[in-house]
Amino acid sequence: MRSETIFALSTAAGKAGIAIIRISGEKAFEAVKKLAGSVPSARNAVFRKLVYNDELVDQAIVVCFPAKNSYTGEDLAEFHIHGSNAIIQELSDILSCGLNLSFAKPGEFTQRALENGKMDLSQVEAVIGLIEAETKEQKKQSLNVLSGGINNKATEWRGLLVQALGLVEVMIDFSDQDIEANFKGEINVLIIKLISYLEKELTQYKSSEIIRDGYDITIIGKPNVGKSSLLNYIAGKEKAIVSSYAGTTRDIIELGIDLQGYRVNFFDTAGIHKTDNIVEGIGIEKAIKKAKDSNMRIFLLENNDIADQFFIKVQPNDLILSAKVDIHKPEELLGISAKTGEGIDNMLDLIFKRIKNETVSSSVLINIRHKSLIKNAVKSLYSSKDELDETNFQIEIVAEYLRSAIVQLDLLVGKINVEDILGAIFSKFCIGK
């Protein structure tokens, strides 16, 4: 436990009905006693007058959390005060200048929770994800990790590794005895099983990535087919400029929406056609590249258009739609109209179903750091297996590869020194978290 007691505004800055100032450290309850008269019983919200130097500061709700059951693993107190800038500033001045408490650094409350064993490193990252969550599925993803999703799996995987390493150590310690044949097979089975588990997580990582970052959909079509009008209809406002002149959209315009709990990123692109205009040509090249990199493409067709004419290979999950069905009715394709809204709800429903299908089995891994560590672990495991498969294998080398894999799993949850990455992680936090 650190000796320095910290405090911070844990709610958003600015005027509000309620503001919360949080205090953590060995002097937290002492501060409560000086301001509220006495320390309330643990985890009970009580109404108190906050008084300093015989002057009323505010009327507030006070809650105290002893170290054993607090967020930080230290004595922690909260003042739920009226959210005026004047009260917030006055109370902050009292805590800082009057009671000699320190302003918290970004993420310092959560960093203390990590240091005091209240959460692991993956859970710290989940807190960031939870704060930044904009959709229901993003929230669920972060809550799963915060509830120990990665830690539980990492513990299971590490157990298999430790078991394999134990057998390896026996082979090293009793190398003069004829036990190689029995143990080698058992070690191989454990390694293969673990590789299978980890590769499954890597395979499912794409689904986690879609939930975290959103499902990218690029709208493709000729100039004036209605791409920008479709984007504007979905947005409910004129985000893109709609014009009858070819080449109006020369850059990529993005629209992010919440589609039944999933983030979907729509991209309006330049109309694809032959042109001698250099600027238009660059816009078309960018459109084609964006379309190829997206999770899905919406091909908007009109009259005798075909999807294959846009220099992009149509994928099974793409949507091919007939535009402007308020003017002409399609014979086979699903038709939409950005003018009347016809067919757009059906289009969005199809998109939702495809996203749901692609994310039905998502990984517990939620960021690139997790993915990289698991890839490194898999690499070490394959190396250990390859060495074990050699006729004249060196059991000591197998042991080193297995230890390397354990290190990667420990880094995943922060069980070993991770000072080099803590700064980058906690810099993303707000002050009061």
Q: Kindly state the average pLDDT of the residues 346-356.
A: 94
Per-domain residue ranges for the chain?
6-114, 124-210+369-414, 214-358
The answer to whether domain 6-114 and domain 214-358 are alike in fold is no
Q: Which CATH number fits domain 124-210+369-414: 3.40.50.1010, 1.20.120.430, 1.10.3720.10, 3.30.365.10?
A: 1.20.120.430
Coil, strand or helix: which one is 6? strand
What is the C-alpha to C-alpha distance for residues 160 and 151, in angstroms, rounded to an integer? Answer: 14
Q: Is the pLDDT of residue 389 over 60?
A: yes
CA-based torsion, 144, 147, 151, 157: positive or negative: negative
Q: 214-358, which class in CATH?
A: alpha beta
Sort strands 55-65 and 46-52 into parallel, antiparallel or unpaired.
antiparallel
pLDDT in tens, 101-140: 999 999 999 999 999 999 999 999 999 999 999 999 999 9
What is the C-alpha to C-alpha distance for residues 37 and 362, in angstroms, rounded to an integer? Answer: 51
Angle between helices 344-358 and 227-235 (to 10 degrees): 80
Q: Is the pLDDT of residue 191 over 80?
A: yes
pLDDT band at 251 (very low <50, low <70, confident <90, very high): low
H-run or E-run covering 297: strand 296-301
CB atoms within 10 A of CB 126: 24
What is the C-alpha to C-alpha distance for residues 319 and 334, in angstroms, rounded to an integer? Answer: 9
Residues 6+ apart with CB under 8 A from 429: 106, 107, 110, 127, 128, 131
Q: Name the fold adopted by 6-114.
A: Gyrase A; domain 2 (3.30.1360)
What is the C-alpha to C-alpha distance for residues 112 and 74, in angstroms, rounded to an integer? Answer: 8
Report the pLDDT value the prediction gives residue 151, as an integer from 0 to 100: 93
The region of weakest confidence among 129-138, 196-205, 280-289 is 280-289
Coil, strand or helix: which one is 17? strand
Mean pLDDT of the chain: 86
